[in-house]
Amino acid sequence: MIKQDSHNENNRFLAQWLAGDISDEQLKSLVSSEEFTAYTKIRKGLETIEALDAPIDSSLEQIKARMANNGGVVRSLQPLRWVVGVAASIIVLFGMFTFLNNDTVSFNTNFGEQQTIALLDGSEVILNAKSTLSYNEDEWTSNRSIELDGEAYFKVEKGSTFTVNTDNGSVTVLGTEFDVNAFKDYFEVTCYEGKVRVESLNESFILVPGQTVRRINGDSANQWESTVGAPSWINGESSFKSVPITYVIATLESQYDITINSEGIDDSIIYTGSFTHGDLDVALQTVFRSLDLNYIEKEKGNIYLSAQ
């Protein structure tokens, strides 16, 4: 066969050979062996250029896969994975805390209100007016712990330690009946049954039935005994034993939703006695007449005191 001149402008066989339409054998018959070698090498060169220019991402994927499979000293290519784990844990924990917070049961009483609360273990709490009580439902079985702001009477079922936390101190019992009054800086605990331990300002008191401990405004604590079987407020009456008048006024305010202006009197007066929760006039009379104080309701709910 006569060798064709590949330089002829009208020839197309090299293109056809490169595309695979013409075989190597056919090309061999068309060009000199020297040219055939050259074109074969050019073709391989082109293939090599293309292969070497090809993206290297697929190799990276294989490297990653090999790293992941090797195990042992080979670490994962994503060392940040633990960060993701930690982040996930934080989110889970955060979620749990949010969840736990949601499980914090809270009770509030308004002016003059009382509320009886049954706890999960059968214990009973009677919440006096203007008081807040909260506890964590989830942790209750392992940790009987209650936060109290205000006054409450507890009838605690026997069981694990039962703690009442207040801003002024804590009360710890095993199973008993007691009253806690933690109102601002007033802190009073009376034991009605069993034994109660009171922790306040690094002091510890053990109360037996009938005993009361009280600390007002961080002063030294007072302790005394009485014979009542339950706090009077449960029966609709607030009782006081040598209590500064300001706390009596505060109790009146929380029972009747009133504001008592005591600027006109000596607020160091000590009061012993009680007032009813059922009738504001009677209550005001009982407290202030006995102390020789005048009271006048200038506007609705605003009572002004003055010395006689």
Partner 1 sequence: MTEDQQNICNSNTFETIYQKYAKDLRRFLFFKTQDLAQAEDILQDTFIKLWNNCSKVNYDKVKSYLYTVASNAFLNTVKHQAVVRKHQSSLSHSKTNESPEFIMIEQEFLEKLERVIASLPDRQREVFLMNRIDKKKYKEIAVELNISVKAVEKRMHAALVVMRKEIGNI
CB contact at 8 A, 279 and 307:
no
Which residues ranging from 128 to 157 are in contact with partner 1 (CB under 8 A)?
A: none
The binder of partner 1 chosen from 3, 23, 26, 44 (CB under 8 A): 44
The binder of partner 1 chosen from 28, 29, 35, 107 (CB under 8 A): 35
* Nearest approach, Cβ of residue 8 and partner 1 (Å): 9
Ramachandran assignment for 30, one of left (phi > 0), alpha (psi -120 to 50 degrees), beta (any other): alpha
Closest CA relative to residue 292, chosen from 273, 269, 274: 269
Establish if 235 lies at the interface with partner 1 (CB under 8 A): no
The nearer residue to partner 1, 38 or 100, going by C-beta atoms, is: 38
The binder of partner 1 chosen from 1, 25, 71, 79 (CB under 8 A): 79
Which residues ranging from 272 to 291 are in contact with partner 1 (CB under 8 A)?
A: none
β-bridge pairing 196-200 and 104-108: unpaired
CB contact at 8 A, 144 and 175:
no
The binder of partner 1 chosen from 4, 23, 26, 80 (CB under 8 A): 80
The binder of partner 1 chosen from 39, 107, 140, 304 (CB under 8 A): 39
The binder of partner 1 chosen from 9, 25, 263, 299 (CB under 8 A): 9
Establish if 3 lies at the interface with partner 1 (CB under 8 A): no
Establish if 23 lies at the interface with partner 1 (CB under 8 A): no
* Nearest approach, Cβ of residue 90 and partner 1 (Å): 21
The nearer residue to partner 1, 72 or 142, going by C-beta atoms, is: 72
User: In 216-302, which residue ranges form alpha helices assigned H by DSSP?
Assistant: 245-256, 280-284, 290
Establish if 308 lies at the interface with partner 1 (CB under 8 A): no
Contacts of 292 (CB under 8 A, 6+ apart): 307, 308
Q: Count Cβ neighbours within 10 Å for each residue of 192-217 and write b for 16 or more, e otherwise.
A: bbbbbbbebeeeebebebebbbbbbe
The nearer residue to partner 1, 74 or 228, going by C-beta atoms, is: 74
β-bridge pairing 124-127 and 144-155: antiparallel
* Nearest approach, Cβ of residue 33 and partner 1 (Å): 11
Q: How many CB atoms lie within 10 A of CB 168?
A: 25
Total residues at interface with partner 1 (CB under 8 A): 44
The beta-strand segments (E) located in the chain are 104-108, 115-118, 124-127, 132-136, 144-155, 162-166, 169-173, 177-183, 186-193, 196-200, 203-207, 211-216, 222-225, 237-244, 259-264, 270-276, 293-299, 302-307
Establish if 40 lies at the interface with partner 1 (CB under 8 A): yes
Establish if 74 lies at the interface with partner 1 (CB under 8 A): yes
Establish if 4 lies at the interface with partner 1 (CB under 8 A): no
Please give the C-alpha separations between residue 89 and each of 78, 119, 190, 288, 308, in angstroms, as whole numbers: 18, 32, 45, 61, 68
* Nearest approach, Cβ of residue 1 and partner 1 (Å): 19
* Nearest approach, Cβ of residue 91 and partner 1 (Å): 22
Establish if 86 lies at the interface with partner 1 (CB under 8 A): no
Which residues form the interface with partner 1 (CB under 8 A)? 6-7, 9-16, 18-19, 34-35, 37-42, 44-46, 48-53, 56, 59-60, 62-63, 66-67, 70, 73-75, 77-80
